[in-house]
Amino acid sequence: MRYISTRGNAAVLDFEGATLAGLAGDGGLYVPEAWPSFTRDAIAELAGLSYVETAVRVMAPFVAGSLSEDELRDLCSAAYGRFAHDAVTPLVQIDQRHWLLELFHGPTLAFKDVALQLLGQLFERFLSGTDRHLTIIGATSGDTGSAAIDAVAGRKGIDIFMLHPAGRVSDVQRRQMTTVLAPNVHNIAIDGDFDTAQALVKAMFNDRDFAGRFTLSAVNSINWARLMAQVVYYFYAAARLGAPERTVAFSVPTGNFGDVFAGHVAARMGLPIARLLVATNVNDILHRALSSGDYSSASVTPTATPSMDIQVSSNFERLLFDVGGRDGAALAGQMAGFEASKAMRLTNAQTQGAAGLFASASVDGEAMAQAMRWASERAGQVIDPHTAIALSAARELELDPTIPVVTLATAHPAKFPDAVERATGVRPALPARIGDLFEREERFDSVAATFEAVSGYVAERAVAP
């Protein structure tokens, strides 16, 4: 499989190259040159397979040329062996129509573990036998950070620098990052929001002088391997609900557009998906873009769903590329305009190309709390606020009522105990394996949210290749 940049002007790479590079050299994002295609028979065969076998079938075409199926199976077994549920991502029924796909049984209690546990294995595999040293730089609104840190802490040949917005992640989220004291882990609190952190990370990748001094890599969903691993659970869930004979809809709590883009990839590969519902909180740039073509960024409003407090969604670029005619040069111009003005209009091709599959909704705090109460009263399910945003949107989705709607449950409720308690009266406890989180020592540095300060901090500590 070959990977090309959404902006059409970067080296074409194989899977290993795209995984290690993270961001493309022209500022774009890597995508497969063509989508692999699954027949109906191949989808039907997935119904009885374990998560690991499903993962091997779904991901094998994407890693072809870089990993054999047996190598991929070994990496998946190691990655998913650390999950606390045998099904890895179990489905839970709430009522006749609604299901939850629980994606939070990994080590750090959010869906990010599904991809990042594998990415940690991939980094180790691609670095083994070389003397390369990776400098990973990432930005987090709370969940990517801990999942990435857990995946690479203590690994040889890797340093990770993780930027989080000070005061804008939950205490559990922050401690899950800052209590990891491995010497290759560097937590940086910046005075700003997630968009600022993400822009600083991209600026470091795009600064030739800085990037030329280190072997930079990414753990955010700008890294194609992240999304590839997330495609798997769409197949896994749909196969269990009767695909390909039965179509399924998915409601996805959305911020950086990675998780829902993975659903788009599954649909491109032939999975019969009736609808992908993009559910945002009041930071609704994606809802505005999909419903009216207006992709203009406003300032971020802090909410009870901090992981989705995002107004510039990295992976939306991948969708615009894919549904807009795959014209890298045109998209490079469009993105340059957006980067300058923080506003753009989608082209007709982009709007219409997205409309066939995507629907969207913006959900406020009250509707989120109601969804939490409904899940608790209807099915005894205590859900996290991000999941509740998507469940609330799912309940309003206009669709043939016989089509099952799967809401992606992206985080364990114990990551956001205050919001859950406010809505339901129940204070979810941390699982025993991290029960002592609040007694652990924390370590992080506060750094000014400027390119000079953050790149200087990284440069002082990073290892040249």
Ligand X SMILES: N[C@@H](CCOP(=O)(O)O)C(=O)O
Of ligand X, ligand PLP, none, which one sits near residue 257, judging by CB under 5 to 8 A according to partner kind? ligand PLP
Output 347 or 407, the one with its CB closest to ligand X.
407
Of ligand X, ligand PLP, none, which one sits near residue 314, judging by CB under 5 to 8 A according to partner kind? ligand X
18, 56, 67, 110: which one binds ligand PLP (CB under 6 A): 110
Task: Rule CB under 6 A: say whether 282 interacts with ligand PLP.
Answer: no
Largest CA distance in the chain: 58
Give yes or no: 112 in active site.
Answer: yes
Contact map string, positions 295 to 324, toward ligand PLP, x by CB under 6 A:
------------xx----------------
Of ligand PLP, ligand X, none, which one sits near residue 253, judging by CB under 5 to 8 A according to partner kind? ligand PLP
Task: Rule CB under 6 A: say whether 107 interacts with ligand PLP.
Answer: no
With CB under 6 A as the contact rule, which of the stretches 72-80, 200-208, 250-258, 366-374 interacts with ligand PLP?
Answer: 250-258
Q: Which of 112, 156, 342, 415 is catalytic?
A: 112
Could you say which residues in the range 393-412 bind ligand PLP, by CB under 6 A? 410-411
247, 256, 334, 362: which one binds ligand PLP (CB under 6 A): 256
ω into residue 244 within 30 of 0, thus cis? yes
Closest contact distance (angstroms) between CB of 103 and ligand PLP is 9
Tokens of 400: 């043939």
Using CB under 6 A, list all residues that contact ligand X. Answer: 140-145, 220-221, 255-256, 258, 307, 314
* Total chain residues near ligand PLP (CB under 6 A): 16
Could you say which residues in the range 202-231 bind ligand PLP, by CB under 6 A? 221
Task: Rule CB under 6 A: say whether 143 interacts with ligand PLP.
Answer: yes
Closest by CA to 228, choosing from 49, 75, 384, 387, is 75
Task: Rule CB under 6 A: say whether 284 interacts with ligand PLP.
Answer: no
Output 216 or 383, the one with its CB closest to ligand PLP.
383
Contacts (Cβ under 8 Å, ≥6 apart) of 230: 111, 114, 115, 258, 259, 262
Task: Rule CB under 6 A: say whether 259 interacts with ligand PLP.
Answer: yes
Residue type, 336: A
Of ligand PLP, ligand X, none, which one sits near residue 140, judging by CB under 5 to 8 A according to partner kind? ligand X
Of ligand PLP, ligand X, none, which one sits near residue 254, judging by CB under 5 to 8 A according to partner kind? ligand PLP
Output 227 or 243, the one with its CB closest to ligand X.
227
Closest contact distance (angstroms) between CB of 306 and ligand X is 8
Instruction: Give the whole-angstrom CA distance, residue 74 versus residue 399.
Output: 40
Of ligand X, ligand PLP, none, which one sits near residue 410, judging by CB under 5 to 8 A according to partner kind? ligand PLP
257, 316, 358, 374: which one binds ligand PLP (CB under 6 A): 257
Closest contact distance (angstroms) between CB of 274 and ligand X is 25
What residue ranges bind ligand PLP (CB under 6 A)? 110, 142-143, 221, 253-259, 307-308, 386, 410-411
Question: Which sequence positions are flagged as catalytic?
Answer: 112
